[in-house]
Structure 1
Amino acid sequence: MDFSQLQSISDICLLVQNLDRSIVFYTEKLGFTVTRRTEGFAAFNSQSINLVVWESTHVPDEPRTPSLPPTTREEHRACLSVKLHSGAAVDALYEGLAARGIPFKRPPADYPWGARCCYFSDPDNYLWEIYSDA
């Protein structure tokens, strides 16, 4: 059996520069709740997949380096997508998150691939997409 068929993906783990900064962003800006926290590690509640942030210097079985190299604002290592049921839901979530100070690239827009989307980045420059199919 192929690896992709063994199990559904259960967790998204983001390697971050500063754990405390990430926890503040994900709890205060996005409304997640911390479900577990240990040195260099925090897990958050989510509807369908576990979101984990791991300080880059605390990843087990990896050589200890001072930190990941910083990215430029234009460079992204990953994009995490959240699918909503309608374009109106995308617009409403955008408004609510923008009011909390989330720095969006621009307001929601309709894209040629048949989706309404908007994008923002977390403090470690991971790109987040909020979208709905048209």
Structure 2
Amino acid sequence: MDFSQLQSISDICLLVQDLDRSVVFYTEKLGFTVTRRTEGFAAFNSRSVSLVVWQTNHVPDEPRAPSLTPALREEHKACLSVKLPSAAEVDALYAGLSERGIPFTRPPADYPWGARCCYFTDPDHYMWEIYSDIPAG
């Protein structure tokens, strides 16, 4: 059986430089709830996939972890996407998160691939996308 068919993805783990800074961002700015926290590690409650942040110098059996540096804004390595039911909900969430100080790159816009999207980054420059499919045409 192919790896992709074994199970659904259960966790997204982000390697971060400063665990405390990330916990503050994900709880106070985005509203996640911490479900488990140990030295160098925090897991957050999410609807379908667990979101985990690991401080780079606490990743087990990873000799390169302490030397990892955060990606520059121009060098995103991943984009985490959250799909909403409608374009209006994208706009509303954008407005609410902007009021909380989330650093969006620009307001929501309609893109040629059939989605209304907006993007922001977390303290370690991981890119997040909020989007909704929009009718073609």
> TM (normalized to structure 2)?
0.95
Query: Superposed, which structure 2 residues align to 1:14-53 within 5 Å?
Result: 14-53=14-53
- Tell me if 1:124 matches 2:136: no
CA offset at residue 130 of structure 1? Answer: 0.1
- Tell me if 1:97 matches 2:97: yes
- Tell me if 1:68 matches 2:68: yes
Q: Name structure 2 gaps, 5 residues minimum.
A: none
- Tell me if 1:54 matches 2:54: yes
CA offset at residue 103 of structure 1? Answer: 0.8
- Tell me if 1:86 matches 2:89: no
> TM (normalized to structure 1)?
0.97
- Count how many residue pairs are aligned between Structure 1 and Structure 2: 134
- Going from structure 1 to structure 2, the CA distance change for 1:65 and 1:50 (only over 3 Å counts) comes to closer
- Going from structure 1 to structure 2, the CA distance change for 1:21 and 1:67 (only over 3 Å counts) comes to farther
Offset from partner CA, 1:4-46 (integer Å, 9 cap, x none): 0000000000000000000000000000010000000000000
Offset from partner CA, 1:68-121 (integer Å, 9 cap, x none): 123222111210000000000000000000000001000000000000000000
Instruction: Tell me how far apart the structure 2 counterparts of residues 131 and 91 of structure 1 sit (CA, whole Å).
Output: 9
Task: Compute the RMSD of aligned alpha carbons.
Answer: 1.0
Give aligned-pair identity as a percent: 82
SS class of match (1:66): helix
Contact 1:21–1:123 under 8 Å retained in 2: yes
SS class of match (1:132): strand
Instruction: Tell me how far apart the structure 2 counterparts of residues 71 and 51 of structure 1 sit (CA, whole Å).
Output: 19
Contact 2:16–2:70 under 8 Å retained in 1: no
